[in-house]
Structure 1
Amino acid sequence: MQIAIVAPSPVPFCIGGAEKLWWGLQEEINQNTPHQAELIKLPSPERNFADLIGSYWQFSRLDLSHFDLVISGKYPSWMVDHPNHICYMLHRLRGLYDTYHFTGFPEQFNSNQTEIQRLQKQFKRSKRSDLVEVFAQLEKLRSQQNLPTEVTQFPGAFSREIIHYFDGIGLDPKAIRKYAAISHNVANRQDYFPKGSSIDVIYPPSSLRRFEQGESEYFFTISRLDSAKRVRLLVEAMRFVQSNVQLKIAGIGPDKSLLKELAGDDDRIEFLGFVNDEDVIQLYANAIAVPYLPYDEDYGLVVIEAMMSGKPVLTTIDAGGPNEFVINGETGYSVSPEPAALAERLDYFYQHRAETKQMGLAGRKLVETITWESTVARLLSEPPTKPMVNGTQKRQKITIAVTFSVFPPRGGGQSRVFHLYKHLANYFDIEFVSITGFDQVPFEGEIAENVREIRIPKSTKHQQQEQEIEKEVRVPITDVVMPDLVWLTPEYIEALKTSIESSDIVIACHPYLYPAIRSITNKPLWYEAQDVEIDLKSKILPDNSTSRKILDSIRKVEIECCDASRLIMTCSRNDADLLNKIYGIDLKKTIEVPNGVDTEAIRFISQEKRRSTKSKLGLENSFTAFFLGSWHEPNLKAVESILKMADALPDVNFLIVGSVGWAFQDKKHPTNIGFMGEVDEETKSIVLEIADVALNPVTFGSGTNLKMLEYFAAGIPVISTPAGIRGLGVEHGKHCIVAEVEQFGDAIGKLRSETSEAKLARIEAAKDLVQQTYDWRVIAERFMSAVTAFE
């Protein structure tokens, strides 16, 4: 296709987020798609009433019929008349829309002049065929002598009425094939889009070429120095900051002198002025956190850049777009727009560096899929599932009921649901309704593009009854008692009901919230069976009367959920067969959705890089075996096996990473075992870089082992039990070494004596297997193909 990107050129010219967006779109289309794009910009002054009308007039006359597609995104460029027109909206003229109420002018313009009354009648007709006459009448009106100032006042009631009329024609559903917005904040603004229209929210990425992570030395922000960005609020907050920490402010603008005067002699505040991209990358990289405090921002590229650099963001509850990414206590903080409240959080960031770093890593995971590739792909294509609702196209919505918080993903279950549904969000709007610990903070917001989470803490009564049962069985039972106890948290039932009302499909993630779902709706139900629950829990729960009652409850809710579901998602074919054997389910309604990994997020480490890193750390003569696991019964048993191995292999260093280690740290263990507990992604990457072998000595469980896929994607040789490779299509010798636990010592010895060529062949085969079969993007695409065939 020949694509025209049409946009206004500011007068006087300046470079802002809009310009960077157009350039990014043009480059991505021309360099990485089969299409060609040209950026067409017309000077568009808006200093007064006449300028504004003239700008709308020139775009309305623009003939772009020699292009196959037109993309516009900002007034007045969407006045272009083209049969294949996409509007990717940044914002309307805010002073005449969402910020007009600040002007104090009336909403309606009343006049006794015949010419104005005639124009107002034409405004109500809202026909493109009237435009030539309307522009001519406006020009005639403007040329009148002694015209009342309120007629040409800008902003003003009459200019507002005119621009609403023009925008109504330019953005009419008959004139626009597809609507998109750069944020939910823009999509949800009153009067921005025609009522009933479907709006695809597509987050644009930064124009910075790369992002780095460095030290944590100072606070940094970058912004245009004007009142809308509220840098003044940040400078005022520094008066209350007790820490001796520097604040670096990059950017230029009309408020520069005022802000410097406000900062006074506080030598902690440094104004950097204009900063080039290379310096911006380094300033982000070495920041502790990034404060960004605009009022009702459309989007906020600063937030994306900060999080891509692994830095949390401090913003305000009225900042608009930034709050689609800032999750309190997880990717940063959003507080009242008051200097003291901001200062308290800045001091907190400074004093809690480890926690601050974790928030930054969670933020990076939240925004890592915002790329030019995905932006252009979504902008140029239509979602495959778009049923007609009241005459307009609408993406289907899925509500997922889940017994744990989803973001940030730390354990295997969280990682699975976050990444799977993040990629299914290319086809559906996704909303998780999760129930969490009573001491957690409620949350509602977007955790990935088109993915929302509503998080409800358990009530105190719910938590107390759960703890009483837990005393009797002596293992965590949060999920299995949910069918009986969820009713003690009515806030969760209400949140689930509200979400389901606007959904087309409901998914039970595990079977335990099925009774709650069925009490609310009879809408189509899918069951995500991450395990065969009765099989798994019978191996974990102790043999006593309470456990037997729980197992009876599990069996009942699992079969009811299977029977009621139109579609069952299983992690492996073995799980589907086991569900059929136990409950007699219809295998025709099962779809295999294996565990996967985000191969783009896991760094592949070559053997040369591994040797180099070990040499730098003085570990070139050591051999390190690595195990990763959460506090989960199969993993606990696996660590017990490693304890025995370590005694027999004193020249091997064993590193245990993950919450499973907390169960053993206070117990006596061999000196060549190190328990690291839960670590951040950066620390885990370092461990993956120095490990010589990854172990998977699990001997039971259902589903597939996510850790195997992470090992493969990172390029580590692997030794696994037969149970550890279940359902993955892994071949002994080709992808990894498969042995029983008792043979792991011999397998480690064999691996150590292998040639580099033999190791490399196995590593490459394993990496190819993961990329071609177990990347989450591939899994989501195959699932959608299966669903289409299924229906």
Structure 2
Amino acid sequence: MRIAIVTVQVPFTTGGAEILTEMLKDELIKRGHKADIVSIPFKWYPQETLIKAMNMGRMIDLSEAGREKIDKVIAMKFPAYYIQHDNKVLWLMHQHRQAYDIWGTQYGDINCWRDGEKIRDFIVDCDNRYLSEYKKRFTIAQNTSNRLKKYNGLDSTVLYHPPLNYEKLHCEDYEDFVFYPSRINTIKRQRLLVEAAKYIRSDAKVVIAGGGDSGEIEYLKQLISENDLENKVILAGFISEEEKISYYARCLCVYFGAYDEDYGYITLEGFFSEKPVIVHTDSGGPLEFVEDNVNGFILEPEAKKIAEKIDYLYNNRSEAERLGKSGKRSLIDKHMDWDYVIDSLLSE
């Protein structure tokens, strides 16, 4: 079968979405299909450009390529999922959240535009109309399905998938540092963990890995300098996959501070590495996996509370091990595997 995976790409940006589409392509090819990724360049501002991107998503013709029929389209992101095809399935990462759950929050932008409400209404109307065309709608997380139902009245089925290189993730020890690998920006809330470092009483350290928004990175550096945290917080920058696996294997615990995350590979990577994961009450997708005091901690997004749990784990390594092993078991119980995902996406 010739299968096109349709998504969008913000140039010079690579994250979980791009990793997922590459994994899906590889898994389809392993099973004998011809698969390729079709990415639409995406720029969401100003408002005129956003509307053009939506129109582009609707106008793309993927009925065939090189005069050979494309048998199936798997659409994954806004506005690529507006595509027209007679055999398409939705595996939704997320919608344009600025028109939905992020509207009016500190992370939103459309609500600040001169025609913000009109743009939001246009996005919602298009989503209602074009997502209704799909005979089968899947999402990557229950949090995503909940949003689709809440805002658009559309049902969907969750298809969980394992993270990249999950079979290589392992545990070596429970050393004296907390690990947070992620793209750095305000919605991922690395600053909360840096602020927590001010209140850590033990010798536990913080390692934050990843690139991202230059302004937020400079803010973190300033926060570290102003509070004399140079010996407490390490900004590791971009790290290789091998380095990330090593950090996971050795860390005391994993912190994942993102606000209302869609899925959250970090939670899964932490559990596959047998480490407890600290998330927040408003973390979204990770709450589908983290159980408080069972395999990690669910906290209010407050620096002092984060510090308290880090100190607790530092002083109780056996408890860190217990929680981490429980996290690994919880993923095994969810039967998280690619065979089920591919069978579901390709079923008629």
Q: Same fold (TM over 0.5)?
A: yes
Contact persistence 1:284–1:306 (CA under 8 A): yes
In structure 2, the residue matched to 1:730 is none
**SS of 2:27 mapped into structure 1:** helix
In structure 2, the residue matched to 1:377 is 343
In structure 2, the residue matched to 1:203 is 160
- How is 1:97-116 mapped onto 2 (pairs within 5 angstroms)? 97-102=100-105
CA deviation after TM superposition for structure 1 residue 161, in Å: 1.7
CA deviation after TM superposition for structure 1 residue 325, in Å: 0.9
| Count of matched residue positions in the alignment of Structure 1 and Structure 2 | 332
Contact persistence 1:24–1:372 (CA under 8 A): no
Distance 1:282 1:15 in 2: 21
In structure 1, the residue matched to 2:202 is 243
- The answer on 1:299 being equivalent to 2:302 is no
**SS of 1:221 mapped into structure 2:** strand
Distance 1:221 1:280 in 2: 10
Structure 2: unaligned runs, 5 residues or longer: 64-68
**SS of 1:101 mapped into structure 2:** coil
In structure 1, the residue matched to 2:180 is 221
Contact persistence 1:315–1:322 (CA under 8 A): yes
- How is 1:257-656 mapped onto 2 (pairs within 5 angstroms)? 257-264=218-225, 265-266=228-229, 267-368=231-332, 369-381=335-347
Q: Deviations over 1:255-306 (max 9, x none)?
A: 1111122122220211100000000000000011001111111111100111
CA deviation after TM superposition for structure 1 residue 378, in Å: 2.9
- How is 1:139-154 mapped onto 2 (pairs within 5 angstroms)? 150-151=114-115
In structure 1, the residue matched to 2:24 is 25
- The answer on 1:84 being equivalent to 2:87 is yes
User: RCO higher in 1 or 2 (8 Å CA, sep ≥ 6)?
Assistant: 2
Contact persistence 1:230–1:294 (CA under 8 A): yes
Change (3 A) 1:86 1:193: farther
CA deviation after TM superposition for structure 1 residue 35, in Å: 2.5
Distance 1:6 1:257 in 2: 34
Q: Deviations over 1:170-208 (max 9, x none)?
A: 201xx102111111111111666742x441111122113
Tell me the amino acid that sits aligned with residue 67 of structure 1. I
In structure 1, the residue matched to 2:145 is 187
Distance 1:270 1:203 in 2: 32
Structure 1: unaligned runs, 5 residues or longer: 108-148, 383-791
Change (3 A) 1:51 1:105: closer
Q: Deviations over 1:428-456 (max 9, x none)?
A: xxxxxxxxxxxxxxxxxxxxxxxxxxxxx
In structure 2, the residue matched to 1:765 is none
Tell me the amino acid that sits aligned with residue 139 of structure 2. A
Tell me the amino acid that sits aligned with residue 299 of structure 2. V
Bigger radius of gyration: 1
Distance 2:195 2:100 in 1: 30
Q: Deviations over 1:87-138 (max 9, x none)?
A: 111111111111113279999xxxxxxxxxxxxxxxxxxxxxxxxxxxxxxx
In structure 1, the residue matched to 2:40 is 42
**SS of 1:365 mapped into structure 2:** helix
Q: Deviations over 1:34-66 (max 9, x none)?
A: 322111112122221121111112221111222
Pairing partner for 1:61 from 43, 59, 63: 59
Contact persistence 1:105–1:157 (CA under 8 A): no
Distance 2:150 2:88 in 1: 17
**SS of 2:263 mapped into structure 1:** coil
Distance 1:191 1:100 in 2: 17
- The answer on 1:3 being equivalent to 2:3 is yes
Distance 2:178 2:318 in 1: 16
**SS of 2:44 mapped into structure 1:** coil
Tell me the amino acid that sits aligned with residue 89 of structure 1. L
Contact persistence 1:220–1:284 (CA under 8 A): yes
Contact persistence 1:187–1:193 (CA under 8 A): no
Distance 2:83 2:259 in 1: 31
Tell me the amino acid that sits aligned with residue 8 of structure 2. P
CA deviation after TM superposition for structure 1 residue 169, in Å: 2.4
**SS of 1:102 mapped into structure 2:** coil
Identity %: 33
- How is 1:153-168 mapped onto 2 (pairs within 5 angstroms)? 156-168=116-128
Tell me the amino acid that sits aligned with residue 246 of structure 1. K
Distance 2:339 2:305 in 1: 38
CA deviation after TM superposition for structure 1 residue 355, in Å: 1.6
Q: Deviations over 1:440-474 (max 9, x none)?
A: xxxxxxxxxxxxxxxxxxxxxxxxxxxxxxxxxxx
Change (3 A) 1:211 1:26: same
Tell me the amino acid that sits aligned with residue 220 of structure 1. F
Change (3 A) 1:212 1:179: same
**SS of 2:38 mapped into structure 1:** strand
Contact persistence 2:110–2:119 (CA under 8 A): no
Tell me the amino acid that sits aligned with residue 187 of structure 1. S
Distance 2:185 2:301 in 1: 16
CA deviation after TM superposition for structure 1 residue 310, in Å: 0.7
Change (3 A) 1:51 1:191: farther
